Amino acid sequence: MFRVYSVLIVLSLLFINAAVPSIYGAGITWDPNAETDLDGYKLYLGTESRQYISFVDLGNRVACDLSELFVYENAPNFLALTAYDTSGNESTFSNELSFELDDLIDHEDNCPDIYNPDQNDNYPPGGNNIGDACECEGDFSCDGDVDGWDAMVFYAHAGRDQFNFPCVASDPCYGDFDCDGDVDGWDTALFKADLWRNAYNKPCPPCAGDDWCAYP
């Protein structure tokens, strides 16, 4: 997954229309050039603006999935297109597209072993330099997994709010992951996403063991 900072590239009559995020990456598409002797396109990549270190010959395609390319995480990436004709003539570079991988959980990530600066970080309040998407927020016992015991704890607190066993410092709400004073459907969805994580299945980062929320 990545964050896209620009979505339009112009190459004579060539336009990159969009960069479309997905769970496994992103892709770009462009309108084809109108020249009758058009033979294809090349996509150039680099980690510095206008300093390209590799290219891919795309042939006469008008789309590319960025999972086909070698790109860096936690670093800026830059790309531009050229068009070439049947005589081998190549156009100048298009305008440039820049993007940066954001370490959302996907097939390329080694979460939680890498710092995730672009994700929310509220574990516990104040953060621990690991993005929320990597946390085992339901590891109430801090034993490195989210198992049946944690599920019992969570469901014992599910449904608590200001009108039903309010969350207070002397009786905190376990499972109030956003610290809004209740354990509702949103918290349930987060817990279910982490259930059965362990050392062999999306391992949990170290658990701080501190109180999650500060209640009156």
Encode pLDDT of 188-215 as tens digits: 988 998 899 888 887 787 777 667 788 8
Among 156, 140, 157, CA closest to 204: 140
Q: Please give the span between the terminal C-alpha atoms of the chain, in angstroms, as a whole number.
A: 39
Q: Name the pTM for this structure.
A: 0.48
What pLDDT shows up at residue 95?
Answer: 82
CA torsion 197-208-116-202 (nearest 10°) is -10
The residue that leads in pLDDT, 63 or 139, is 139
Calpha distance 187→130 (Å, rounded): 19
Say if CB 146 and CB 196 are below 8 A apart: yes
How far apart are the C-alpha atoms of 97 and 94, rounded to whole Å? 9
Taking only the tens place, the pLDDT of each residue in 98-146 is: 876 654 444 334 454 444 455 566 666 666 666 666 778 889 988 989 9
Predicted local confidence at residue 125, as pLDDT: 65
CATH code assigned to 2-101: 2.60.40.10
CA distance 97 to 8: 7
pLDDT at 174: 92
Q: Where are the domains of the chain?
A: 2-101, 110-216
Q: pLDDT-derived band of residue 3, with 50, 70 and 90 as boundaries?
A: very low
C-alpha to C-alpha distance for 208 and 20, rounded to whole angstroms: 36
Phi, psi at 41, each rounded to 5°: -135, 150
pLDDT digits 0-9 by tens, 14-58: 433 333 333 234 677 777 888 888 899 999 988 889 999 889 899
Confidence of residue 183 (pLDDT cuts 50, 70, 90): very high
* Burial zone of 178 (CB within 10 Å; 0-12 exposed, 13-18 middle, 19+ buried): middle
Give the mean pLDDT of 79-98.
Answer: 86
